């Protein structure tokens, strides 16, 4: 049982569970409760073996349920939320008997009813359609004999899910990539069990009561968009599993809106909403409890396409990376390591994607799914620029000099007219040799610096001189003409502006290496649009291909290298 605060629910859940028959131990994983839960767990005597695993932080449901399972000694694992009550005292023994009698079963689950005097179904098993629509069977329906039947099912919720311990270990437990918001990790586990050749069964002859919607949402975010994002991942991963069934109809999974009153836990009341048009009011399953939400910034999940590492940032979880040698043991220390970047974006839940290797497909999928993408300069092409302007997701570019304080100060001085009206400019950027194209690698930085200092877009670039290690050009920004130069060599970045009353200059000796990434992470947490948002600076990248082609023509008669 995973708990975090909600002591009033935990106490009732444990007392009711302790009265159940059968031979079992109880393991409680406390994810940083601060409402007296830890003191209660230290003092309570349930008359059964009780192990409490205390953590000072909340890393989410998947990781911590795996921690609890790792110390469990039983042949079967019964995962329970702390807002369930035992309705039938023999629920544990009945579920164990089902698993014992059928070795092909990996997991079973009981009927879940809403609390209160009525017999209203909360979940009569988990179901899915062949096209991947997923939901609880029977939600909001009055209890009938049909809900009491035993049948095969696609998945079951972790509110009450019993799994064969050996099967759980074999498929690797819950996927921690779904943390910190525990939604869909139970569907994923069940699909992995089924993909491994085992089955799931719903056992309606025994029931538990479930206070739906009270499990603590620790990040203080609405769950609905996270559920939708996770479901896109689930459908990408398990389309073949859903297609094989057992199949349910859309009517089986209909979300019947209910009205819940848990103000008195001894007399809870749940009823079907009488007005179908008020269905939007039934959001308690997905809503936040902001009163109890932690003060710390929410963890955001990032996947990285490309081999280059990204610096560690508190509150950011790298949950997936690409590695061409993914079949070999690797010390990436992340839940997912895949060869293909597109597959990584499709199948690993995340809010952000860092694309460091050319992979237009991965960028487009991320943007269409509403994710925020940080791309390297060499990843940007016409298709990416157009998608950044139209797709629901946001895209920013790793232009680290854009955040340099001296560049900002120079731009402010020009705006304030300290050198008079700008009449010309000069920019030179030298950098250590790389295996990438000179204009692709350094061109965007010099053009971006000109735009930020002059406060106007660059509208023209004309190559003057080209060599493999040095390129000089004339650029025009805001009607002002200047010289730009990029080359391989000892690192330096100098920009100067000549005006009617003098000259101003800045030597950008070192760029803040985390500027673009910090902007990217800040946006993931709900902050402002990044300074290097591609939709805003896309015109700059419209110029780079033409400049690059012109240089290539001068060097090799048309080669883009």
Report DSSP state, residue 312.
Answer: -
Tens-place pLDDT, residues 208-258: 999 987 765 444 556 777 888 899 999 999 999 999 888 888 888 888 888
Give the residue from 253, 287, 313 where a domain finishes.
Answer: 253
Q: Note whether residue 281 is domain-resident.
A: no
CATH code, 445: 3.30.360.10
Indicate whether 157 belongs to any domain: yes
> Could you tell me which residues come within 8 angstroms of residue 440 by beta carbon, excluding any fewer than 6 positions away?
377, 378, 544, 548
Arithmetic mean of pLDDT over the chain: 89
Identify the band that residue 419 occupies on the pLDDT scale cut at 50, 70 and 90.
very high
C-alpha closest to that of 48 among 83, 103, 1: 1
CATH label of the domain that carries residue 27 = 3.90.550.10
- Does 20 have pLDDT greater than 50? yes
Q: What is the pLDDT of residue 277?
A: 64
- Report how far residue 78's alpha carbon sits from residue 414's, in angstroms, rounded to the nearest whole number: 67
Sheet with 372-375, side-by-side order of all strands: 336-338, 316-322, 300-305, 352-355, 372-375, 394-397
User: What phi, psi does 62 have (nearest 5°)?
Assistant: -65, -55
Q: Is residue 528 part of a domain?
A: no
How do residues 506-520 score in pLDDT, each as one tens digit? 999 866 656 888 889
- For the stretch 519-560, pLDDT in tens is 898 888 888 889 999 999 989 999 999 999 999 998 876 544
139-158 pLDDT, tens per residue? 999 999 999 999 999 999 99
Residue 151 CB coordination number (10 Å): 15
Q: Band of the pLDDT at 291, cuts 50, 70, 90?
A: very low
Q: Is the dihedral of CA 16, 20, 23, 24 positive or negative?
A: negative
27-48 pLDDT, tens per residue? 999 988 888 999 999 999 999 9
Dist. CA 167–CA 17, nearest whole Å: 24
State how many domains the chain has. Answer: 2
Q: Is the pLDDT of residue 396 over 90?
A: yes
**Domain for residue 524, yes or no?**
no
Q: Please indicate, yes or no, if residue 515 is contained in any of the structural domains.
A: no
Range of the domain at 201: 2-253
Kindly report the number of other CB atoms within 10 A of residue 535's CB atom: 15
Residue 351 falls within a domain, yes or no?
Answer: no
Q: Is the dihedral of CA 162, 167, 171, 176 positive or negative?
A: positive
Nearest to 87 by CA among 245, 214, 215, 210: 210
Contact 459, 533 (CB under 8 A): no
Q: 426 pairs with which residues across the strands? A: 483, 496
58 and 294 Cβ atoms separated by less than 8 Å: yes
Q: Which of 220, 253, 286 is the last residue of a domain?
A: 253
261 or 220: which carries more pLDDT confidence?
Answer: 261
Given strand 422-431, what is the order of strands in its sheet? 458-467, 470-477, 480-488, 422-431, 492-499, 502-507
In a domain, 104, yes or no: yes
d(CA 547, CA 484): 12
Dihedral (Cα; 246, 247, 252, 253), 10-degree rounding: 90
199 found inside a domain: yes
Whether pLDDT at 445 is above 50 = yes
Cα distance between residue 362 and residue 321, in whole Å: 12
Tokens of 88: 């039938």
Last residue within a domain, chosen from 463, 490, 509? 509
3-state secondary structure of 488: strand
């Amino acid at each position: 049982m995973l708990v975090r605060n909600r002591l009033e629910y935990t106490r009732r859940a444990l007392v009711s569970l302790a009265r159940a028959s059968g031979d079992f131990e109880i393991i409680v994983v406390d994810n940083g409760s601060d409402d007296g839960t830890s003191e209660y767990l230290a003092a309570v005597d349930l008359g059964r073996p009780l192990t409490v695993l205390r953590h000072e932080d909340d890393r989410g449901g998947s990781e911590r349920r795996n921690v609890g399972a790792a110390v469990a000694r039983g042949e079967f694992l019964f995962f329970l939320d702390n807002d369930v009550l035992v309705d039938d005292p023999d629920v544990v023994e009945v579920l164990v008997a089902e698993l014992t009698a059928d070795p092909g079963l990996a997991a079973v689950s009981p009927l879940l009813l809403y609390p209160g005097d009525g017999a209203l179904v909360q979940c009569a098993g988990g179901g899915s359609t062949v096209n991947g629509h997923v939901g609880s069977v029977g939600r909001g329906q009055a209890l009938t004999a049909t809900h009491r039947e035993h049948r095969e099912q696609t998945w079951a919720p972790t509110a009450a899910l019993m799994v064969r311990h050996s099967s759980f270990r074999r498929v690797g437990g819950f996927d921690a990539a779904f943390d910190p918001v525990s939604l869909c990790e139970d569907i994923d586990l069940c699909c992995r069990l089924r993909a491994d050749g085992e089955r799931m069964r719903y056992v309606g002859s025994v029931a538990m009561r479930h206070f739906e919607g009270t499990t603590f949402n620790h990040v203080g975010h609405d769950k609905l968009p996270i559920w939708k994002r996770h479901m896109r991942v689930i459908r990408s991963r398990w389309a073949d599993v859903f297609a094989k069934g057992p199949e349910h109809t859309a009517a089986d999974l209909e979300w019947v809106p209910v009205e819940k009153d848990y103000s008195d836990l001894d007399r809870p009341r749940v009823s079907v909403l009488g007005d179908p048009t008020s269905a939007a009011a039934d959001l308690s399953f997905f809503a936040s409890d902001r009163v109890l939400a932690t003060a710390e910034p929410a963890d955001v999940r990032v996947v990285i396409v490309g081999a280059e590492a990204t610096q560690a940032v508190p509150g950011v979880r790298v949950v997936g990376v690409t590695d061409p040698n993914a079949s070999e043991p690797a010390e990436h220390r992340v839940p997912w390591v895949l060869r293909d970047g597109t597959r990584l974006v499709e199948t690993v839940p995340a809010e952000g994607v860092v694309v460091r290797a050319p992979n237009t497909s991965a960028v487009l999928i991320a943007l269409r799914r509403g994710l925020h993408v940080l791309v390297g300069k060499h990843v940007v092409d016409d298709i990416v620029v157009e998608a950044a302007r139209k797709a629901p997701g946001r895209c920013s570019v790793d232009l680290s000099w854009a955040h340099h304080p001296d560049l900002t100060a120079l731009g402010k001085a020009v705006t304030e007219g300290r050198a008079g009206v700008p009449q010309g400019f000069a920019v030179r950027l030298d950098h250590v040799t790389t295996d990438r194209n000179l204009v692709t690698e350094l061109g965007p930085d010099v053009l971006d610096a000109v735009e930020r200092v002059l406060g106007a877009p660059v509208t023209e670039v004309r190559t003057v001189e080209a060599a493999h290690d040095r390129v000089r050009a004339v650029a025009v920004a805001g009607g002002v003409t200047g010289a730009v130069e990029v080359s391989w060599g000892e690192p330096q970045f100098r920009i100067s502006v000549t005006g009617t009353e003098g000259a101003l200059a800045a030597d950008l000796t070192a760029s803040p290496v985390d500027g673009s990434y910090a902007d990217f992470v800040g946006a993931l947490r709900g902050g402002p649009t990044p300074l290097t948002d591609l939709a805003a600076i896309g015109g700059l990248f419209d110029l780079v291909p033409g400049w690059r082609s012109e240089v290539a023509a001068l060097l090799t008669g048309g080669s883009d290298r």
